[in-house]
Amino acid sequence: MRRNLRLYIYHLIRIFLFYVAEFISLFIKKENNSNKILIIRTDKIGDFIIFSPTIKYLKNLYPDYKLYLLANKEILPLIGFFPEIDTFIPLDVKKFQFNIFYYFKIFFKLKKMFFRKVFNPVYSRIITVDELVRIVDSEEKIGFYGDNTTSENIKNFYNKFYTNLISIKKYSASLSEVDRYKEFLINLGYSEEKVMSLIPHIEVSEEILEEAKIILKKCGWNGNKFIVVHPGAGYIYRIWPIERFQKAILFLKQKDYEIVLGGGKDEKWISELIKKNIPEIIDLIGKVDLKIMAGVLCLADFYFGSETGILHLAAAVGCPTLCVLGGGHFGRFFPYGDLNKNRIVYDKNMKCMNDNWECARYNKNKTAPCIEGIKTEDVLLELDNLINYLNNQKQ
C-alpha cells in the first residue's frame, strides 16, 4: 500500500514536469519530417543482449530508415557490435528519474527530433520508458500491452500514448524473452517462418581478442586455461553466498583452471572477500569494459556465476555457461540456445518459482530463499558435468 502511494505521488510529479517541459518546448525548433525510427530500452546490460537479435530484424523491416537507439548508457561499449544502429542516444536512467535538470535536458533533446516510428519492446513496462514514449514526437508508437506492475490507473494513463499495444495470446509467466520478441516481430508483419533465430550472437574481432590477452597477462595470466567467475549480481538478494563461491573456486582450481573474476566497480568488495582466502586469482572486477570482457569470455573455457549481464554476454560470444539461477523469473531470461552449453543449477525444492522476487521483498539485503537453497554439492556436480561435456566435445 505504502509503495503504491509513493509510486502514485512520483507519477503526479512526473506529469507536472512533463507539462512544464512541454510548454517550454513550444519555443524549440523541431524537425518537421524524418526517415528515423527509434527503439527505447532503459533496462540493464543482460536485457539488452537478449533483445539484440531483434535489432537486425527491425533494420531489415525498415531498410530505408535510420535506426536510433535510446538506451541505458551502460551498454555504450557494446554498440560497436551492432552496425545496424545508426545513432546511439545514451541515457543515465537514475538521473532521468531523479534529476530535474537532466530530465529537461533529455526532454528537449528528444523534442528536437521527429521519428516515423517508436518502439518500446520491453514486455514488463515501467514508467520511465512510458514517459520517454510520451515525450517523443512520432506518427506511430508501438509497445507491448505487457505485465506493467504499476497500478491499473497509471498503466491505463500511459497506454493511451501508444498507437499500437501488442498482446501475447500464449502468455505465461515463464515464457522466454526470446519468444516474446518473436511475437513482437510477428505482430509487426514478419511471418513465423522468417523469424529464424533470436538467440543472441556477438562476433568478437581479433583486435579485441588481442587487447583482452594483453590485459589478462598484465593481471597475471600465464596463458593456461581459465574460467570467468562472476559472483556478483544486480541485487544483493540474488547473490549466492560468497563462501559457497569460494568452495566452487577451490574445486575448479583443483581441476587446474585459473580463475578470472569478472564484475563491475561496485562489486570490488566481493573480490576482496574472495582474495583474502584465495589470493591466486586474476581480478578483473571493475577493470575492463564490456567490449574487452567479450574478448576475455571468448578466450575462457566457460563462465560460472550469477544471472547477470556478463552471463548473457558470455552466451552471446559462444562461451559455455553455468548459471546459479534463482526462481524470480525462472526460465524467462535464461537459459536459451544450446542447453548443453548454456546450463543452470537451481534449488529444485524452491517454493517461490516465478514470484517476481517476492520471496526477497521484505529483506533485500539478504540472500533470497530460492538462491540460498542452492546446495554447494549440486553446483560442484553441475560444474563437473559441464567440464566433462566440454572435454568430450574436444575429443
Spatial distance between the Cα atoms of 99 and 92, rounded to a whole number of angstroms: 10
Measure Cα distances from 220 to 72, 256, 258, 276 in Å. 32, 16, 10, 17
CATH architecture of the domain with range 2-194: 3-Layer(aba) Sandwich (3.40)
Look at residues 21, 383, 358, 327 and name the one whose alpha carbon lies nearest to residue 174.
327
Cell numbers given for 323: 548459471
Q: What is the DSSP string of 121-151?
A: --SS--HHHHHHHHHSEEEEEEEE-TT--S-
Cβ contacts of 74 within 8 Å, gap of 6 or more: 44, 45, 290, 309
Cell numbers given for 296: 576475455
Q: How far, in whole angstroms, is CA 175 from its chain's centroid?
A: 17
Give me the residue label for grid cell 520508458: 129
Is the alpha carbon torsion for 129, 131, 137, 141 positive or negative?
A: positive
Q: Which 3 state secondary structure label does DSSP give 370?
A: helix
- 145 φ/ψ angles, rounded to the nearest 5 degrees: -65, -45
Q: What is the DSSP string of 192-212?
A: GGG----S------HHHHHHH
Look at residues 141, 156, 127, 173 and name the one whose alpha carbon lies nearest to residue 37.
141
CATH number, domain 206-394: 3.40.50.2000
User: For residue 373, how many other CB atoms are within 10 A of its CB?
Assistant: 18
Per-residue pLDDT 10s for the chain (395 aa) are 556 677 778 888 999 999 999 999 988 888 877 899 999 999 999 999 999 999 999 999 999 999 999 999 999 999 999 999 999 999 999 999 999 999 999 999 999 999 999 999 999 888 999 999 999 999 999 999 887 666 788 888 999 999 999 988 665 556 889 999 999 999 999 988 888 889 999 999 999 999 999 999 999 999 999 999 999 998 899 999 999 999 999 999 999 999 999 998 899 999 999 999 998 999 999 999 999 999 999 999 999 999 999 999 999 999 999 999 999 989 899 999 999 999 999 999 998 888 888 888 878 889 999 999 999 999 999 999 999 999 999 87
Look at residues 387, 346, 386 and name the one whose alpha carbon lies nearest to residue 370.
346
Cell numbers given for 326: 534463482
CB 103 within 8 A of CB 125: no
CB 359 within 8 A of CB 370: yes
Could you tell me the pTM of the whole model? 0.93
Spatial distance between the Cα atoms of 226 and 242, rounded to a whole number of angstroms: 20
Cell numbers given for 331: 526460465
Cell numbers given for 256: 587446474
pLDDT on residue 365: 85
Spatial distance between the Cα atoms of 175 and 178, rounded to a whole number of angstroms: 8
Measure Cα distances from 153 to 4, 17, 64, 132, 160 in Å. 11, 19, 38, 18, 11
Spatial distance between the Cα atoms of 186 and 333, rounded to a whole number of angstroms: 20
Q: Which residues of 118-154 are buried (b: 16+ CB within 10 A; e: fewer)?
A: bbbbbbbbbbbbbbbbbbbbbeebbbbbbebebeeeb
Cβ contacts of 19 within 8 Å, gap of 6 or more: none
pLDDT on residue 168: 80
User: For residue 170, how many other CB atoms are within 10 A of its CB?
Assistant: 7
Give me the residue label for grid cell 574436444: 394
Residues of the chain with CATH 3.40.50.2000: 2-194, 206-394
Spatial distance between the Cα atoms of 92 and 344, rounded to a whole number of angstroms: 32
pLDDT on residue 170: 61
Spatial distance between the Cα atoms of 354 and 326, rounded to a whole number of angstroms: 9
